[in-house]
Amino acid sequence: MHEDNRYIQGLLANDSAIIREIYKRFVPKIIYYIKNNSGNEDDAQDVIQETLITIYNQAKTKGLVLSCPFEAYFLLLCKRRWINELKKSSNKEVTNQSENVYKDESVLELVDQSEQFEAKQNLFEEMFQKLGEKCQEVLRLSFSLKSMEEVAQKLNVTYAYVRKKKSLCTGQLTTMIQESKVYKSLKS
């Protein structure tokens, strides 16, 4: 575990001192990079926020532990996100005007894991939104409540009904995810 893991812990704890430090030490570099690569201050702020949310989500759900400096990880995630945004908006080749491309394998591996994680989260969310309202409600409650008995009570239905409904909805969601083109590209 790298000593910079304190930034991850600070994000998880919503520690304002750590967040201020991140903004003071690392954000100006991202803003400079994006402004020099066809972007503006607002673009940079969007990229920074989305990247911090990704890091937070990965730390919270996957227990992200840094094995490299936070700066390298954060900067590379932001740069890749910006390059992807440029590619999406222009469908052209993007020239990266950064000479400081990080070659450390642990950083690249962490960034790849973060990008995979975010792509999976986005796919799940997209397919979840395509479920019917009742399925969404049953699954949302089953994610947040401790037991299926509580879910049944909250919905005012029987335990057997809510178990069967959850099973059907989970199966439907799984099928939708597995049949999507995004899922197939993530697997390869």
Task: Please give the chain's pLDDT, 188 residues, in tens.
Answer: 678 889 999 999 999 999 999 999 999 999 998 888 888 999 999 999 999 998 898 888 888 887 778 888 888 889 888 888 888 876 544 444 443 444 445 556 666 666 776 777 777 788 878 888 888 888 888 877 778 888 888 889 898 888 888 888 888 888 888 888 877 777 76
Radius of gyration over every alpha carbon of the chain, rounded to an integer in angstroms: 20
CA atoms within 13 A on the CB side of 56: 13
**Contact assessment for residue 110 and residue 73, using Cβ atoms and an 8 Å cutoff:** yes
What 3-state class would DSSP assign to 165?
Answer: helix
H or E segment and range at residue 88:
helix 70-90
| Amino acid letter for position 156 | N
Which pTM does this prediction carry?
0.54
